[in-house]
Amino acid sequence: MAKIRVLMVCLGNICRSPMAHGVFAARIREHGLEHAIEVDSAGTAGYHVGAKPDRRASQEARSRGYDLDDLRARQLEPEDFLEFDYILTMDDANYRNAEAIRPPEARAKLLRFLDFAPQFDEHEVPDPYYGGDEGFVHVMDLVEAAADGLLAHIRERHTLKAS
């Protein structure tokens, strides 16, 4: 069976989407679903292509047991809509920018990541780049909740079993 492919998207692919990538990858492993689901991340902008995650993102992730060291930024491309099943955007600007390059033959579902964290009132993962460390703590709280919700959604829709 083809793997279900999930792509996390923000603006720069150095803060929010790498955090979402690292957390979701850990959830896939914890649930024994590496054979069934894979995750990647990208940014709608190309400013940071090839860069490692922001140090503050890596530190907050590490403090909660996630390792982002091997991730490198890349830019979202129209072809991603053909290769992925789910494209999850962190905020509304990311959603609009992704929608603008979605090809007509897209197979990916374009969704807002925080739709999977209904316990939070927020609908966007706020951009932490120009703020302080506390912004990264909050991003991680949102991302962990949405990752759990997304995994539950995918498991239910695709009736996946652990290996």
What is the set of active-site residues?
A: 10, 16, 127
The kind and range of the H/E element at 83 are helix 80-83
Quick one: tokens of 5? 């492919």
d(CA 41, CA 125): 15
In the complex, minimum distance from the CB of residue 113 to ligand 4NP, in angstroms, rounded to a whole number: 12
State which residue, 40 or 127, has the beta carbon closest to ligand 4NP.
127
Contacts to ligand 4NP from residues 18-37, by CB under 6 A: none
**Site stretch for ligand 4NP (CB under 6 A), options 13-21, 34-42, 58-66, 81-89:** 13-21
**Site stretch for ligand 4NP (CB under 6 A), options 14-22, 31-39, 107-115, 145-153:** 14-22
**Site stretch for ligand 4NP (CB under 6 A), options 10-18, 32-40, 63-71, 140-148:** 10-18
Instruction: List all residues 6 or more positions away from 11 whose beta carbon is below 8 Å from its beta carbon.
Output: 43, 44, 45, 90, 91, 93, 94, 127
Quick one: tokens of 20? 């979402």
* Residue 11 binds ligand 4NP, judged by CB under 6 A: yes
CB 14 within 8 A of CB 46: no
Q: Which amino acid does the sequence have at 90?
A: M
* Residue 110 binds ligand 4NP, judged by CB under 6 A: no
Instruction: List all residues 6 or more positions away from 72 whose beta carbon is below 8 Å from its beta carbon.
Output: 50, 51, 52
* Residue 14 binds ligand 4NP, judged by CB under 6 A: yes
State which residue, 93 or 106, has the beta carbon closest to ligand 4NP.
93
Number of residues that bind ligand 4NP (CB under 6 A): 11
Burial zone of 25 (CB within 10 Å; 0-12 exposed, 13-18 middle, 19+ buried): buried
Query: Which residues sit at the interface with ligand 4NP, rule CB under 6 A?
Result: 10-16, 43, 47, 127, 129
